[in-house]
Amino acid sequence: MTPLLVNIAAVCSLLAMPLVLTSVASAPAASDSNVMDLLMPGVSPKQEDTYLCTAVKLDKNRYIRAFNPQHQSGHAHHIILTACKEPGSATEKVWNCGEMLTKSEGAAGDKTYKQAPQCASDTRIIYAYAMDAPALQLPDGVTFGVGPGFDLPWLVVQVHYKKASDFVKNPSLKDNSGVKMTYQTTPSPKLGGVHISLTDGVIPAHSVTHMETSCSYDGQTTLHPFAFRTHTHSHGRVVSGYRVRDGHWSLIGSANPQMPQMFYPVNGSGVIRPGDMLAAKCVMENTGDKDVSIGATQKDEMCNFYMMYWIRADDVGKDGSRMCYTSGELWDLAPSSVMAASATVPGTERVFREMNREMDRMDRMMKQMLLNGERAASGIDMPGFEDEANEFYADQPEDFIEF
């Protein structure tokens, strides 16, 4: 199929499967159903891999219950919606929000737009769309609460324009991609959230490396996971997330990160309670001659596992830190069945066994210590989410992008 046909098919399937749920039980009064758009105001990116952001400030709380991506003629390669305390730019209508950490090499994308991050503080990803990705259905009664009452008054949408040739050929062409949201003004019984697990580390040349993280869940309410999303660059082979309770590992989600990096329904059905642990792993394969580190540029890697969940609305704020970033000791205790499953690309027989696990681990720890030392010395933060916006779905050339 030509890209145009693919795109039309994606639009049609979205029309056929609206995200709005029809259950009578929890549907709010028809009068409390509103639509708001957050769309690019007619942009014309002239460079490939341009990431543009536009924002809206909310003066009242909104409870978003459906996301409907808007994209024209296949220009938008991916769309990411975040809520934030402060946007990357409160003055520009549109800004270039790509590749913030590659200053030394010059920022990617169209430089006629001012460069700024997607959010300046408190970035919360609430929705992501990539071409051809299936629609994500929020469970009954779940909304994402945004607005001043949540200390998240801004919504920022990022659109990745992978190709610019149409805009270069036709200077009058303007794009209005973005997200249409259906929301209610009354609170819903359940609130959605996103938890992120991420690692640091190095993937040595010619190696298969398991990048791992594990944390105790530090919230005070039950999390009900319903969707997950994986994110790596080109070296990721399989990414998985588990709940660990009393030594028993249950799968939350596992996927091949070379598939569209959308939120997919969870594979397992368990909930996360105080006292549980969360563990995530990325199996990375580096067939090249150079070591590859976790970092924020196109040449670096990332290992991220996103878990979308709901909590009871009464428990707002009790869902803990929403982030896990450790060296993943719990994985040393993983049963062999979990080691095998987490190294197998879903739907295939392909198993990536770490060679010389102990040696690799020592090596990684040494490199990580050096890396952390350098970072501390140069004042650079750990690879953050602020950037998570930046690349997601780009096809995977040898050297790639980030967040």
Q: Please state, in angstroms and as integers, the Cα–Cα distance from residue 224 to each residue in 191, 221, 227, 244, 338, following that order.
A: 10, 10, 10, 15, 22
Question: Are 175 and 72 in contact, with CB atoms under 8 Å apart?
Answer: yes
Query: For residues 87 and 253, which CB has a smaller minimum distance to ligand NAG in the complex?
Result: 253
210 assigned to a ligand binding site: no
Q: Which is nearer to ligand NAG, 213 or 254 (CB)?
A: 254
71 has binding-site annotation: no
> Nearest approach, Cβ of 346 to ligand NAG (angstroms)?
3
| Catalytic residue, candidates 71, 210, 224, 231 | 231
Between 226 and 264, CB nearer to ligand NAG: 264
Rounded distance between C-alpha atoms, residue 380 and residue 374, angstroms: 9
Catalytic site residue 248? no
- Residue 277 annotated as binding site: no
Taking the least distance from each CB to ligand NAG, the nearer of 120 and 345 is 345
Q: Is 224 annotated as a binding residue?
A: no
184 annotated active-site: no
CB of 365 to ligand NAG, least distance (A): 29
Active site residue 195: no
Question: In this complex, which beta carbon is closest to ligand NAG, that of residue 267 or of residue 326?
Answer: 267
**Could you tell me what percentage of the chain is helix, strand and coil, using 3-state DSSP and rounding each to the nearest 5?**
15, 35, 45
Question: Could you give the CA distance from residue 138 to residue 21 in angstroms, rounded to a whole number?
Answer: 8
Residue among 196, 261, 185, 247 nearest 32 (CA): 185
The verdict on whether 78 is a catalytic residue reads yes
Structure tokens at 298: 């196109």
What are the counts of helices (DSSP H) followed by strands (DSSP E) for the chain?
4, 22
- Asked whether the CA dihedral 236, 238, 243, 247 is positive or negative, the reply is negative
Check if 75 is active-site.
no
Give the Cβ contact number of residue 23 at 10 Å.
9
Task: Judge whether 71 counts as a catalytic residue.
Answer: no
Tell me whether residue 302 is one of the annotated catalytic residues. Answer: yes
Catalytic choice (71, 77, 224, 235): 77
To the nearest whole angstrom, how small is the minimum distance from the Cβ of residue 255 to ligand NAG? 5
Nearest residue to ligand NAG by CB is 346
User: DSSP characters for 94-152?
Assistant: SEE-S-TT-GGG--SS-TTSPB--SEEE--EEEEEEETTPPPPPPPTTEEEEEBGGGTB
Closest to ligand NAG by CB, 275 or 347: 347
Least distance in angstroms from the C-beta of 367 to ligand NAG: 30
Helix (H, G, I), strand (E, B) or coil at 199: coil
Q: What is the contact surface with ligand NAG in residues (CB under 6 A)?
A: 253-255, 264, 267, 346-347
From the list 160, 195, 210, 224, the catalytic residue is: 160
Tell me the closest approach of the beta carbon of residue 24 to ligand NAG, in angstroms: 28
Catalytic-role residue among 78, 195, 210, 235: 78
Q: CB-based burial of residue 123 (10 Å sphere; 0-12 exposed, 13-18 middle, 19+ buried)?
A: buried
Tell me if 233 is assigned to a ligand binding site.
yes
- Which residues belong to the annotated binding site? 77-78, 160, 231, 233, 302
- Which residues belong to the annotated binding site for Cu(2+)? 77-78, 160, 231, 233, 302
Active site residues: 77-78, 158, 160, 231, 233, 302
